[in-house]
Amino acid sequence: MSEYAVVDPTTGETVQSYPTITDVGLDDAVAGAQQTFSGWSQITTVAERAALISKVADLHVERRDALAAIIAREMGKPLGDSLGEVDFSADIYRYYADNASEFLADEPIELLGGEGSAIVRKSALGVLLGIMPWNFPYYQVARFAGPNLIIGNPVLLKHAPQCPESAAAIEQMFTDAGFPTGAYTNIYATNDQIATIIGNPIIQGVSLTGSERAGAAVAEVAGRHLKKVVLELGGSDPFILLSTDDLDATIEAAVMARLDNCGQACNAAKRFIVIDELYDEFVEKFTAAALNTPVGSPTDPDTVIGPLSSLAAADRLSQQVDAAVAAGATIVTTGERSGAFFPPAVLTEVDRNNPAYHEELFGPVAMIHRVTSEAEAIELANDTPFGLGSYLYTTDPEQAERVADAIQAGMVYVNIVGADSPELPFGGVKRSGSGRELGRWGADEFVNKKLIRVG
């Protein structure tokens, strides 16, 4: 039975199944990518490859409605969010197409002594493997494939088993843009097959976005074979509120930061850490706003929260929430879960002994903590195995700089949410992974930084 299938989380209906690639087919895909690296990657210029990526951006714009409908069907993303993801993906491709020549230009080195010159020249490493998740089917691929194909690294892309239709649509866009066979190859592979090809000498690096468990498994295999990895894993991002001159606007931002993509974003705000004097009013207003967020079919234009991505995802979140309440947490919610639809909920009184304290809740459930000082807020924010993103609201610029420096995370957003952009690096520390995507940093992970010293 195929592992790859479109199962509409709204209805539970299996729309279509896709056959898993055979071992022979996978070997052929790896060999084909290597052949493309030995040929096309070596004879084309950065500008020529960037022009093809620009066409991929154009195709996202031309096909945005059809692409958005696919992921609304595959993983329940509301149509407005789906269209926004397609547009953002196009922006990422275009950003790299427009800036690749600058990012990949030779870098001269000023010599301390001796005659001659020295430069660092960035060149392709070879065939890369991308392992992508279901929560942002187009965006996750864009930030990996865009810069690396311009660099000249052919890409083998294993998408999430529940995203086979969007995976095929992405591959088709690369083909229609004019990329040769072997430059970008979609593979419906099993986890065992992936573990095998990571060990293949042709594969030069692996990029994975997904769970801690998946990241650890891939890193273990890649480490045995001395392969470079970039890992973007989970997060339990803090939203720290120390002061505000507009609490209603801050709460609106907080709700957006928690419920975007139905709360299924690694860098969503998940733990709200609120100074004592604002806590009671924040809890009251945040809870009212979160629980009144429109829930419905992903295809309804008024829907903000659709179903979770799958029945399994809803089961997992239910178990976590039930365990949190059993351990003493207080919950406020609008009703009971129905299939993959999970009602928004707010948890308070979550102490350090509660299992939810150190977990990532992937869905429309927020945890709110009370603190009495800046120092306590920082301590609580950092008391997590994760370190992806974070949000800080304060009216004191000096405090903003001080707290931002103290937060142990890869990203800190001060007095703003929803500000991701192609030029800004994305990635984390601790168990949230390693490496960076987006910005010039995303074009610097899988390159040979070759020194050329001339006497």
Structural domains in the chain? 4-232+431-454 (3.40.605.10), 237-420 (3.40.309.10)
- Coil, strand, or helix at residue 350? coil
Q: Which is catalytic among the residues 85, 165, 171, 266?
A: 266
Q: How many C-beta atoms lie closer than 10 Å to residue 408's C-beta?
A: 16
CA pair distance 248, 390, nearest whole angstrom: 20
Beta carbons of 399 and 202 less than 8 angstroms apart: no
Return the residue matching tokens 């690694």. Answer: 266
> What tokens appear for 213 in the block?
């468990």
Return the residue matching tokens 């945040």. Answer: 286
CA pair distance 420, 355, nearest whole angstrom: 30
Looking at residue 266, its amino acid is C
Q: What is the pTM of this model?
A: 0.97
From 87, 97, 90, select the one nearest 46 (Cα to Cα).
Answer: 97
pLDDT at 334: 87
H or E element, residue 403: helix 397-406
Residue 437 annotated to the active site: no
> What tokens appear for 91 in the block?
């922006």
> What tokens appear for 378 in the block?
């920082």
Strands, E, within 137-221: which ranges?
155-158, 184-186, 203-209
Number of separate helices (H) and strands (E) present in the chain: 15, 18
pLDDT at 336: 87
- Coil, strand, or helix at residue 15? strand
Residue 163 annotated to the active site: no
From 302, 373, 310, 366, select the one nearest 339 (Cα to Cα).
Answer: 310
pLDDT at 1: 38
What does residue 428 show for φ and ψ, rounded to 5 degrees? Answer: -140, -170
pLDDT tens over the chain, length 455 residues: 358 999 999 999 999 999 999 999 999 999 999 999 999 999 999 999 999 999 999 999 999 999 999 999 999 999 999 999 999 999 999 999 999 999 999 999 999 988 999 999 999 999 999 999 999 999 999 999 999 999 999 999 999 999 999 999 999 999 999 999 999 999 999 999 999 999 999 999 999 999 999 999 999 999 999 999 999 999 999 999 999 999 999 999 999 999 999 999 999 999 999 999 999 999 999 999 999 999 999 999 999 999 999 999 999 999 999 999 999 999 999 888 999 999 999 999 999 999 999 999 999 999 999 999 999 999 999 999 999 999 999 999 999 999 999 999 999 999 999 999 999 999 999 999 999 999 999 999 999 999 999 99
Q: Which is catalytic among the residues 232, 360, 374, 437?
A: 232
According to DSSP, the β-strands at 413-414 and 433-434 are unpaired
pLDDT at 2: 57
